[in-house]
Chains A and B, each alone.
Chain A
Amino acid sequence: MTLALLVALPLAGAVPTAVAGGLVGRRTVGSIATLFIALSFGAAVAMAQAFAAGKTQLVAELGPWLPIRGADLSLVITPVTVPLVLMVTGVSTLIALYSIGYLAHDTGVRRYFAAIDLFVFAMLLIVVASNLLLLFAGWELVGLCSYLLIAHWRDRPAAAAAGVKAFVVNRVGDAAFLVGLFMFLGLVNTVDLAEITRRVQPALQQLTVEANAQLFAASVLLLIGALAKSAQLPLHVWLPDAMEGPTPVSALIHAATMVTAGVVLLVRLGSVLHPDVLFGAAIIGVITALFAAVVALAQIDHKRVLAWSTISQIGLMFVGAGVGAAFAALFHLIAHAFFKAALFLGSGSVMHATDEELDIRRLGGLARRTPLTTIAFACGAAGLAALPPAAGFFSKEAIAAAVMDRPILLVGVLATSALSALYAARLFALVFVAPPSSDQARHARESPPVMLVPLLALAAGALVFGALVAGGTVPLGVTPSAEAPLALSLTSAALALAFAAAGLAIYWRGPRAIVPARVSNAARAGFGFDTLYLAAAVIPVRAIAQVLEQGSEALVQLIADLVGRAVIAGSALARRMQGGYVRSYEALLLAAAVALLAYWSIR
C-alpha cells in the first residue's frame, strides 16, 4: 500500500496541476505540486522504517498491463532500492521547493510543475518497477519529461532544439533497449525481473553457445540504452545542450536522478547481464570519466562545467557498477545527487543574483555579495572535489577500492578525481573569489529564503552524507565489497587536496590561460562529437529522406499515374471489345474458360 502510494502520489499531483492549475495562483500551483512529492517522500520514510525494522521486500500488484508474459503493473522494493527511493523523493522535494522561488515570475509554472511531478513518478517507476517493461515505461517517461522541461522556455529556439536533441539521442538508446528486451523475452519468455534473474543466473554457468551469444547481444543492447540515458560516450552529446532548461531541472533531472538511471539499471540487472558486457560498461565509464573531466576544465559557462562534470562522475558510477561493486556505485550515485544538486542550485542562485549571467569570466567576487550561496556552493564543490570529509571523498574512495586489483581502472579513477578537484576549485575561484569583472557581478543580490533553504539542505547533505554512510549510521542496503586500505585513502585525500589547492591558486585572481587556445577551444567544444554526428548521422538521414521524397516517392506517384493511364487505355480497348460482335464475345468466353480450366487443373 505504501509502495503504491509512493509512486501514485507524484502522479496524482501532476494531474490537478496540469488540468486545474489555472484556477489558483502561481505560488499555490508550485506548493501543491511540491506537497505531493513531499508526501511521497513521507511514504518513502515510512517504508525505510519498515525495512529498518527487518522487512526484506515490499510488493504491490496493481493489475495486468500489456498482453505479454510478466508485463503487469507491479512494483517491488528491496533494501537496495530503499536509499534510492529516499534520495529521489527527498532531493525532488527540495528542488521543487526551490523552483517555487526560481520560477516566481514564469508564466509556464503549471506545465513546469506538472512535468516535475510526472518526472518524479517516472523516476520512481525505474527504481521500483518489478518488470523490465514497466521499468522501460519509466525510462521513456523520464525522457519525455526531460524533453518537456529542457524546452520549457518555448520562445527560445535553442531550448527547443536542445529538447528535441535530448529526446532523439535518448531514443537511440531506447530503440536498443527495446530490441534487448525482445531478446530477453525470447530467452526466458517473460519480462518479470525476479523470474529473469532466477532463470538466467543459474543458466550462466551452463549456457549453450547460442544462448550465450544471445545473452551477450541482449546485454550489449541494454547497455547502449544505459549509455544514452546516462550520457556516457558516445551518446553523451545531449547533456551539455540540456542546460538550456531551467536550472532546477538541470539539478534534478540532469544531475541527481534521471541521468543516473543507467547506473540504476546496471545495478538492478547486475546479476543478469553478461559479465563481459558489464565489464565493458566499466571500461566505457572510465574513458567517459576522464574525457568529460578534461572537457569540464575548459568550459566557460558555469552550468556547462557542471554538466560535463556530471557526465564524468556518472562515468565513475559505471566503473563501480561495471565491476560489480553495487555499494560503491550507489554510494557515489547518492553522494553525487547531493553535491551536484547543491552545485546546480547554487548555479541557479548565482544566475538569479546576476541577471542570468552564465559566463564565469564575467562573474567573480560573489562571496561578498551572496554569502549563503557561497557557503552552499563551497560545500558542493568540496563534495565534487572529494575533499575529506565531504561526501565525495568517501564515495570515490569506495569506487577506487572496488578497482584496486585492476590498475588501469584505478589510475583512471584517481586521475578523474584529481581533475574533478581541479575544475571544482577553478569554478569556485572564478565565480566567488576572483575580483568581480562585470556590473552584474558587482551588483549581485542574495536569493530569497525559499531558494536558500533547499540549497543549504542539499549542501549539508553534500558535506555529511559520506561520513554517515562510511561510519555505518546510514545503511545502503548493500555491503561494501572491498575495504579501502589506508594507503589508498591517504593517496586520494592528498590528490584531492593538492589539485584543489592548485586550482584555487591558479584562478584566485581571475581567468588565466594555461594551455594553448587551440587546445582549450577544442576541449570546450567537447572535441567535435557534435560535428561528427551532424556529418555522420543527421545530415545522412536528412539526405536519405530527401532522396526518398524526390526519388522513390515521385516514382510511386508516377507509377500510379501510369496505372491510371493504363486503365483508361484498357477501358478504351474493352469498349472496342463490347462492339456487339458475337464472335468477339465468343472468343473472350473461350479464353476465359480455358484460363479457368487451367487454373483449377493446376491446383
Chain B
Amino acid sequence: MIASALVVVPLVAAILCVSATRLARPIAVVASLAVVALALAALISGAPTSASVAWAGPLHAGYSVAADGLTVIFLALGGVLFAIGAAASSRVGHRRAYFALWCLLIAAVDGVFVARDLALFFVFWEAMLIPLAILMWQWGGPDRRGATLRFLLYTMTGSAFLLAAIAALAASRGTLDLAELASRPVAASGQLLPAMLLLAAFVVKLPLFPFHAWLPRAYVAAPIPVALVLSGIVAKTAVYGIMRLCLGLFPDGMATAAPVLVALAAVGTLYGALLATRQDDLRRFIAFSSLSHLNLIGLALFAATATSLRGAVLASVSHGLVVAALFLLVAMLASRTSSFALSRAGGLAASTPVLAAFSTLAIVAAIGVPGTSGFAGEFTMLAGTFERFPAAASVATLVVILAAMYGLGMLRRAYHGPPLAAGVDLAWRERLLVIPLLVLVIAVGVVPRVVSDRIPDDTLPSVEVTR
C-alpha cells in the first residue's frame, strides 16, 4: 500500500499544483515531505508495503512495487531534497507548470525506487526524463537548449541498452519480476552481457568517467533547484540501479567486468578532483567535484564488498545532502556578486560571515572531514574497496589530497583575502534552507549506522561476514 502511495501522492500533488497558482510551491513542499513521512512510516511500521497486480501478460510485465530499507533510504533523501529544492524555487515564472512538473518528477523518481518489476522500472526511468528535460529546457540558463539536448541524447542512448536488456530478459526468462528473476539466477557464464547492457544506462546517468560529457553543461544550464535534485537524487537512481539490478541479478557478470570498471572509476575520481581545482564557474566546480564523488561511489559499487556497498549508500546520502547545500550556497553567493564566477568574488567573508561559515561547513563535508557524512561514506567505501582492489583503492585515496586542494582553494578565492566583493549576509529565509541540510550532514557523520544498518542484507553480498 505505502509503496503505491509514494507514487500516487506526488501525482495527486501535481494535479493540485495545476489548479492552484498561489499554493503551488507549498503543495510541492508538502508532497515532498509526505514522501519522507511515508518512507519512514514504511520502515518503522514494518507493515508489508508491496503491491502486485498482473498486467500486460504477453509482455511478462506486471505492476509490482515494494519499499525495503534500501528504497526507503533513497526515498527519504529524495524527499528532503525535493522539499528544499521546491522551497528554494521562489522566483520562477509559470509557477503552476513548474511545480506540477516538479511533482511529476518526484513521482517518477519514487517510482524508480519502489518498482519491483523491470518493465515498470523502465517506465519510471524514462518518465523521469520528461519533467526533467522540460524543467531544464524552459527554466534554464543561456545554454539550456543545447545542454538539455545533450543530456537527453546521452541518457536515452544509455536507456536503449537498458530496454534491450529488459526485452532479452523477458524473452529468455519469461518474467520481469525482480524477486522471481533473483530466485532463478542466470548461469554465471551468461551474466556479463545483460549486466553490461543494464549498466550502460546507469553509467551514463551516474555518470562514470568518461561518460560524463553531459554533466558540466547540464549543471550550468539547469535552474539551481533542478541542478540540485539532478545531482542530489536523480544521479542516485543509477547507484540504486547498479545495486538492485546489476549486482542483484548478475553478480558474476559484474565481477567479471569489475577490474575494468574499478580502474575507470578510480581514474574518474582523481580526474574530477583535478578538474575541480581549475574551475572559475562555481557550478562547474560543483559538477567536477560531484564527478569525483560519484566515481568514488562507482568504485565502491564495482568492488561490491559488503563494506564498500554500505559505504556507497552512505556516500550517496552524503553527496545528496552536501551537493544540495553547495548548490544553494553557490546561488546565494551569486546573488550577491551577480555572477557565478569565482573571479568576481573574493574576500566575501568580511561582509557575509554566515554565508562563509555555512560554505566552509559544506566544503568540509564535501572533502570528507570526520564528523561529517562525507567522511563516513568515503572511509567506508575505500576500506571496503581495499579488501578486493587494494591498488585501485590506494590510488583513489589520493583524492583526499586533491579534494583539500579544490575545496579549500575555492573557499580561499571566494571568501578570504581583501574584500573585492561585498553583499548583505544571509537572510533567515536563506539560512533555513541550508541549516536542515547541514544538520543532517553532521547527524549522518556522527551516527552513520542509522543509515547503513537499514540496508537489507539481501542487497549485500552474502559471502562476506562483516559485523
Contacts and interface: CB of A to CB of B under 8 A. Distances in A.
Partners in one complex: yes
B274 interface: yes
B412 A161 contact: yes
B412 A164 contact: yes
Contacts of B418: 155, 157
A546 B278 contact: yes
A564 B146 CA distance: 11
Contacts of B324: none
Contacts of A69: 466-467
Contact of A160 (B310, B311, B398, B416): B416
B404 interface: yes
Contact of B401 (A136, A156, A171): A171
B369 to A, nearest CB: 5
B274, B387, B448 — most chain A CB neighbours (10 Å): B274
Interface residues of B, number: 65
Interface stretch (B45-53, B111-119, B148-156, B251-259): B148-156
Interface string A534-549: 0000000110111011
A137 B452 CA distance: 19
Interface in A128-172: 133, 136-138, 140-141, 144, 147-148, 151, 154-157, 159-161, 163-164, 167-168, 171-172
Interface in B163-188: 168, 172
A66 B404 CA distance: 22
A560 interface: yes
B271 interface: yes
Contact of A541 (B274, B383, B448): B274
B424 interface: no
Interface residues of A, number: 60
A157 B416 contact: yes
A599 B357 CA distance: 58
Given A155-B347, A155-B419, A560-B213, A175 B466 contact: no
B46 to A, nearest CB: 22
Interface stretch (B92-100, B134-142, B389-397): B389-397
Interface string A546-564: 1011001100110110011
A397 interface: no
Contact of B408 (A141, A167, A186, A559): A167
A175 B408 contact: no
A137 to B, nearest CB: 4
22 contacts: A63-B447, A68-B307, A68-B467, A137-B370, A137-B375, A141-B369, A144-B364, A151-B412, A154-B350, A157-B417, A161-B412, A164-B405, A164-B412, A168-B401, A168-B405, A168-B408, A171-B403, A544-B274, A548-B271, A567-B153, A599-B168, A603-B190
Interface of A: 18, 63-69, 111, 133, 136-138, 140-141, 144, 147-148, 151, 154-157, 159-161, 163-164, 167-168, 171-172, 174-175, 178-179, 181-183, 185-186, 541-542, 544-546, 548-549, 552-553, 556-557, 559-560, 563-564, 567, 599-600, 603
Given A181-B383, A186-B387, 18 more contacts: A66-B380, A111-B357, A133-B379, A151-B412, A154-B347, A154-B416, A155-B416, A155-B417, A168-B404, A168-B405, A182-B382, A182-B393, A183-B390, A186-B386, A541-B274, A549-B278, A552-B210, A564-B149
Interface of B: 149-150, 153-154, 157, 168, 172, 190, 210, 212-214, 271, 274-275, 277-278, 307, 310-311, 347, 349-350, 356-357, 360, 364, 369-371, 375-376, 379-380, 382-383, 386-387, 390, 393-394, 397-398, 400-405, 408-409, 412, 415-419, 446-449, 452-453, 466-467
